Amino acid sequence: MTDKPHITIKGVKDGLIFLFDDSCDFAELMDELRFKLEKSHQQLLSGPLVHVHVKLGSRPASEEDKEQIRSVIRQRGNLLVQTIESEAPRPDPAGASEAFKLMTGTIRSGQTVEHDGSLLLLGDLNPGGALRCTGDIYVLGALRGMAHAGTEGRTDVIIAASQLRPTQLRISDVISRPPEEWMSADASMEYAYLEDGRMQIDKMNQLVRMRKEPMLFKGV
Amino acid sequence: MGEAIVITSGKGGVGKTTTSANLGTALALLGKKVAMVDTDIGLRNLDVVMGLENRIIYDLVDVAEGRVRLQQALVKDKRFDDLSMLPAAQTKDKSAVTPEQVRDIVLELKKEYDYVIIDCPAGIEQGFRNAIAGADRAIVVTTPENAAVRDADRVIGLLEQSQVPAKLVINRIKHAMVKSGDMLDIDDICQVLAIDLLGVVPDDERVIKAANSGEPTVMDPTSKAAIAYRNIARRILGDMVPLMPLDDKPGRFRKLRKFLGIG
């Protein structure tokens, strides 16, 4: 056990507050929590039902971490975890979707690729394979499997492929099943997008109408 | 040190065992020392196709559990001295051996044989993991059906994860159906699976007849399937053999046209 305790237990009107240090290792924190509950503070913490509020400081905590804290505290039957608070800065959603990933290879049947942001696949997406992104999906190859863009609700994203022959396309929560719903005559570069909540397919050179980004040309 | 090749497909009934039997025999025909291993525990077939069922005394599980030496369990082929087979057990199931045990057996076989052909069971579970454990490379067998191609794709993905390089054999192609557009053609399949093509075997009734009589097709040089298997065996050895034309009957008329120079 380290010299300085990482966990401070405070009594308040409606129960106990566990203040966790936010700079030490999480495993170390758990060890100390167990030690405090089972050994040093055993007498103090036994008795009638007590509500517990856990404050994690600025430590970012996943659901798994929180569940671990709950299960450790729950071992003492009289302690009831009410809240687990973390003041960790939330990952900036705008910043995350900027993340662009380049991937080379074939996504085969049974394989799933997930990415937070946009993804460019240099290769094929085969039937039975799945590709999920929170941003755009571009495939330099044949898209034959399932592609889902905007998995977290963005509706301004597109799915583009050199050969758009999917088993299913999803943008946000709109699902489209070609060839029942649409089928393009030739297999040249196309992209799928949402317009008024419906999936549309268009030629790649039409994308500029949807995304008006300034382009600088040199020369005359 | 020899080389271990696993014959796999994912889907059942596409011809893994037939391919194993014929490639094993074809390699022996080309003068190589070959051992075939049947890893389809509980549903062994390779011995039946090879016509060696009545010679089995011990099996793969006996060797894995150390009851007998590997040499005792190997069944010698009736046609070639340099061809042997290690049969699977019929009374157990796939969990009777571990991938490590199979790998050790294959490693021991590789010391003595030029090629170890491993016949893989259908599916992607324990039996599949056992079969690929000792393999240096894989031959994925598929037929021109969407379901078979889908499963082959899945298996290729799993083989890539295990770092076993795979090549493709397309089995039971019917030229007439491909020509009329009713069957997937070779290009379609190769485009989806994106691995090297090792060979194409035409559909041939004689393959079934041969399997039933326990005589691999490859022994009958008049069969197109036999030639295809022999070609695949030569490609395994590293020879450059062109794909043979698939159109069934050149026909007298076409021969005549060719003779006259208008075909």
CATH no., domain A7-85: 3.30.160
What is the pLDDT, as a whole number, of residue A74? Answer: 79
- Per-residue pLDDT at A1 exceeds 60: no
Measured between beta carbons, which residues in chain B are less than 8 angstroms from residue A108? 153-154, 156-157, 160
B92 is in an annotated binding site: no
Whether residue A96 has pLDDT greater than 50: no
**CA-CA distance, A13 to B87, in Å (whole number)?**
75
Mean confidence (pLDDT) of chain B = 92
Q: Which residue of A has its CA nearest to B161?
A: A111
Q: Please spell the DSSP secondary structure of chain A, one letter per residue.
A: --SS-SEEEEEETTEEEEEEPSSS-HHHHHHHHHHIIIIITHHHH-SS-EEEEEE-TT----HHHHHHHHHHHHTSTTEEEEEEE--PPPP-HHHHHT-EEEEES-B-TT-EEEESSEEEEES-B-TT-EEEESS-EEEEEEE-SEEEE-TTS-SS--EEEEEE--SEEEETTEEE-TTTS---SS-SSEEEEEETTEEEEEEGGGHHHHS---------
Pick A93-210's CATH classification: 3.50.50.60, 3.30.200.20, 2.160.20.70, 3.10.20.30: 2.160.20.70
CB contact under 8 A, B157 and A144: no
Cα nearest neighbour of A107 on chain B: B157
Would you say the pTM of this structure is higher than 0.80? no
Give me the pLDDT at residue A181, please.
65
Which of A39-53, A157-171, B236-250 comes out lowest in average pLDDT?
A39-53
Eight-class DSSP state of B145: S
Structure tokens at A46: 């036994």
pLDDT value at A93 more than 50? no
Using CA coordinates, name the residue in chain A closest to B159: A108
Average pLDDT of A179-201?
A: 81
* Residues of chain A found within 8 Å of residue B192, distances taken between Cβ atoms: 124, 126-127, 144
B194–chain A Cβ distance below 8 A for any pair: yes
CB proximity B153 to A under 8 Å = yes
B157/A contact by beta carbon, under 8 A? yes
Compute the average pLDDT of residues A170-199.
Answer: 84
DSSP 3-state of B45 = coil
> The complex's ipTM?
0.79
pLDDT of residue A30: 83
pLDDT of residue B249: 59
Residue A95's pLDDT band, with cuts at 50, 70 and 90, is very low
- Which of helix, strand or coil describes residue B196? coil
B154 touches chain A (CB under 8 A): yes
Q: Which residues of A touch B (CB under 8 A)?
A: 106, 108-111, 123-124, 126-129, 142, 144
Q: Where in chain A is the domain with CATH 3.30.160?
A: 7-85
Among A12-21, A124-133, A147-156, A159-168, the least confident range: A12-21
pLDDT of residue A77: 74
pLDDT at B58: 96
All residues of chain A having their beta carbon less than 8 Å from the beta carbon of residue B153 are: 108-109, 126-129
∠ CA(B144), CA(A108), CA(B123), 5° rounding?
65
Q: Which residue of B has its CA nearest to A143?
A: B192
The CATH homologous superfamily of the domain defined by B3-260: P-loop containing nucleotide triphosphate hydrolases (3.40.50.300)
Considering chain A, tell me which residue range(s) the CATH 2.160.20.70 domain(s) occupy.
93-210
Name the residue facing A144 among B151, B158, B192 (closest C-beta). B192
Report residues of chain B scoring pLDDT below 70.
247-263
pLDDT of residue B251: 60
Q: What is the pLDDT of residue A186?
A: 67
What is the model's pLDDT at position A145? 94
Would you say B12 is a known binding-site residue?
yes
In chain B, where the domains are located: 3-260
How high is the pLDDT of residue B28? 97
- Each residue's pLDDT tens digit, A175-189: 998 876 666 666 678
User: Does B94 belong to an annotated binding site?
Assistant: no
